[in-house]
Each structure stands twice: as structure tokens, then as C-alpha cells.
């Protein structure tokens, strides 16, 4: 395994982070335990979760993923060996079963306390805002919206003030944002220069099918010392190649949840086929080529990988040992020029 530090901290994290949004739905508690055992045996010390998980979110399964992780850490007695990240769910119809008061002070306090209880710990290493309160372009929304009907009022300073209080209590060590755009990213960072907590990470989608992060957010990361925690680096499994030629495995995510179609449009499948040919040309697995590409980006602090089967997980973690040649990178860029960012 390779390691780095969460930016501006002494918190050492593996370059591969274990994503857990399948725990409690596609994966049972035992399977979640087995995944965490395998990942930590292979050197992973960074686990990412959210109160929202498992996905798709439902009231019946609310926060079951955090409960599974908490039980596992309690059983292993290894909390001090794990860097733990979780998130407060943003507002909207999708999360009305969780709460309806956004990122208010009461919402933040109750969300943190709930996660601490479920995770069976007294502190969270990295606490993230899962998506914005305001109307904005995230979760696959490609085009600009006038936001004319958005009732949200700017409250970044209040959010940071409340997070500062929570950090001072010892319940949270560091903070991050997720599914954010450059405008708010810079707002948070500018405010942090006035004795407010710094946003040290941003968790956004990034993969061969979605490199939109490079357009604006990557420069902020490089110039402001913030790290990307890349999620969906395989595009919901599309970049494993298992959906090529019309295949739809029975237990696959897209078969079980066809509404999760963000990464499986016609152009995404066409680009995936071209990337598959590159991987074969260079004697690589498509999954490992796609993950190695993400691992190598200078603005990426950690690559959040997930799987439903242990053999998939092992292959994904082993991508840390793959270094792509310049020939491979050149071939990847040729496809990117032809079909740029087919999955927003």
C-alpha cells in the first residue's frame, strides 16, 4: 500500500480508501466485515461512509452501513488504526426521512452525535457535507440552471462556525465537502482564513468517464492544499467492463437498481469499449487501468473504491501497484479527446 496525509494535517491515510455504500443492502453485515478484514490486511487504513448509506437510501435501511462499521471496529478493537470519514446528508426529497433542517446547528450536532453512536466511537476523523443545501449542479446534472427559484440564503460562515464548535468539543478532527463546485469550494476556503476550520478534502466523482473535476476544482486543490477523495472511480462498475456488449449480470448494481444510470449512457459505454481495447493492448485489466489512472493524479489524496465481492475488492486494491506507462496515458488521452466526460 502507498500512503499520504490528509492535506494540512498529520493524519496518514492509504491512497486507496474503502467505500462502504453497499454494506447493509447489496452486502450483508458478514460480507461487510469480510471486506473490511481484507482491505485492512492489504494495508488500507481509510474507510469512508455516510449516514445516508446504504444506497439507494431508504428509511428502513437508514444508517445501517455506519452500524456495520461500528460493530466491526468494536469487535476488532482497532479504532485507533482506522481513519474514519463520514457525512451528513444534504437536504431534499431523497433524504426527507432523515431530517428537514439542512446544515443548521441542530442538524449538524444531531447528525454527528448519531454517527458517533452508530460507529461506536467518540470521534470522527473527517466529517463531510454530503452535498450542498442550495440548488446547484451536482449528482450528474450537466447544464447551468438559473437557480431563480432557490430559497437558500448564503450561510457558509454559520456552517463553519458550528463545525468549529463541534471540532472544539473533540467529536470531529477535520472537515470536508462533497459534490461541490468551485464557487462554494472557494467560499469555504476564503472563510477559513478568518479563524474558521479549513475544508481539507473534497469528495467528488472522478474517473475515465468523468474528468470534469479537472476543469476548475483541480486547480483549487493544487493551489490551496486540498485533496480530492475520488468517488465512483469505476463509474458504478461500468469501467470494469462487465456491462459491455449489452451484458447485465444478475447481481450487478445496474441490474438491481436501473435508476442508477449516471455512468451507463450510450457514450459512456462506447468510451468504455475503447478503454477496454487499450487495457487489452497493454496487457492490463480494465479495472486496474482505470483505477491506476485515478491513483496517479496529483490532486487526488485517496481513491475511494468499492466492490460487492472479495475478488473484485482485491483486484481494485492491487491497482495501487500498477504504474501506467506514457504510452497507456497517451492512448487514454486520445479517447478522452474523442468522447470527453460522457458521464457528468
Find the catalytic residue in 3, 53, 94, 275. 53
- Known active-site residue 53: yes
Label each residue of the chain as H, E or C.
CCEEECCCCCCEEECEEEECCCECCCECHHHHHHHHHHHHHCCCCEEECCCCCCCCCCCCCCCHHHHHHHHHHHHHCCHHHCEEEEEECCCCHHHCCCCCCCCCHHHHHHHHHHHHHHHCCCCEEEEEECCCCCCCCCCCCCCCCCCCCCCCCCCHHHHHHHHHHHHHCCCEEEEEEECCCHHHHHHHHHHHCCCCCCEEEEEEECECCECHHHCCHHHHHHHHCCEEEEECCCCCCHHHCCCHHHCCCCCCHHHHCCCCCCCCCHHHHHHHHHHHHHHHHCCCCHHHHHHHHHHHCCCEEEEEECCCCHHHHHHHHHHHHCCCCHHHHHHHHHHHHHCCCCCC
Catalytic residues: 53
Amino acid at each position: 500500500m502507498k500512503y499520504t496525509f490528509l492535506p494540512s494535517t498529520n493524519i496518514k491515510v492509504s491512497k486507496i480508501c474503502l467505500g462502504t455504500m453497499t454494506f447493509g443492502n447489496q452486502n450483508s453485515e458478514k460480507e461487510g466485515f469480510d471486506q473490511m478484514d481484507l482491505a485492512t490486511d492489504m494495508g488500507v487504513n481509510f474507510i469512508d461512509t455516510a449516514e445516508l448509506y446504504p444506497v439507494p437510501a431508504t428509511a428502513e435501511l437508514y444508517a445501517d452501513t455506519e452500524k456495520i462499521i461500528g460493530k466491526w471496529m468494536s469487535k476488532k478493537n482497532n479504532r485507533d488504526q482506522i481513519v474514519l470519514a463520514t457525512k451528513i446528508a444534504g437536504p431534499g426529497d431523497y433524504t426527507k426521512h432523515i431530517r428537514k433542517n439542512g446544515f443548521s446547528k441542530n442538524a449538524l450536532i444531531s447528525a454527528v452525535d448519531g454517527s458517533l453512536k452508530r460507529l461506536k466511537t467518540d470521534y470522527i476523523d473527517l466529517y463531510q457535507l454530503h452535498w450542498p443545501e442550495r440548488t446547484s449542479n451536482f449528482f450528474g446534472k450537466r447544464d447551468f440552471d438559473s437557480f431563480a427559484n432557490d430559497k437558500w440564503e448564503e450561510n457558509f460562515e454559520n456552517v463553519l462556525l458550528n463545525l468549529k464548535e463541534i471540532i472544539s468539543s473533540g467529536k470531529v478532527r477535520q472537515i470536508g465537502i462533497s459534490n461541490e463546485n468551485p464557487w462554494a469550494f472557494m467560499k469555504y476556503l476564503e472563510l477559513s482564513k478568518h479563524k474558521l476550520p479549513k475544508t481539507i478534502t473534497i469528495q467528488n466523482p472522478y474517473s475515465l468517464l468523468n474528468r470534469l473535476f479537472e476543469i476548475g476544482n483541480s486547480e483549487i486543490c493544487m493551489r490551496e492544499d486540498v485533496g480530492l477523495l475520488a468517488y465512483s472511480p469505476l463509474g458504478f462498475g461500468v469501467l470494469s467492463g462487465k456491462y459491455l456488449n449489452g451484458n447485465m449480470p444478475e447481481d450487478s448494481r445496474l441490474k438491481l437498481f436501473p435508476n442508477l444510470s449516471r455512468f451507463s449512457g450510450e457514450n459512456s459505454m462506447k468510451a468504455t469499449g475503447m478503454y477496454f481495447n487499450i487495457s487489452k493492448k497493454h496487457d492490463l485489466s480494465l479495472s486496474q487501468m482505470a483505477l491506476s489512472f485515478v491513483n496517479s493524479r496529483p490532486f487526488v489524496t485517496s481513491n475511494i473504491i468499492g466492490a460487492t465481492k472479495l475478488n473484485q475488492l482485491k483486484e481494485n486494491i492491487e491497482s495501487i501497484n500498477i504504474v501506467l506507462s506514457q504510452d497507456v496515458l497517451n492512448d487514454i488521452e486520445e479517447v478522452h479527446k474523442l468522447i470527453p466526460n460522457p458521464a457528468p
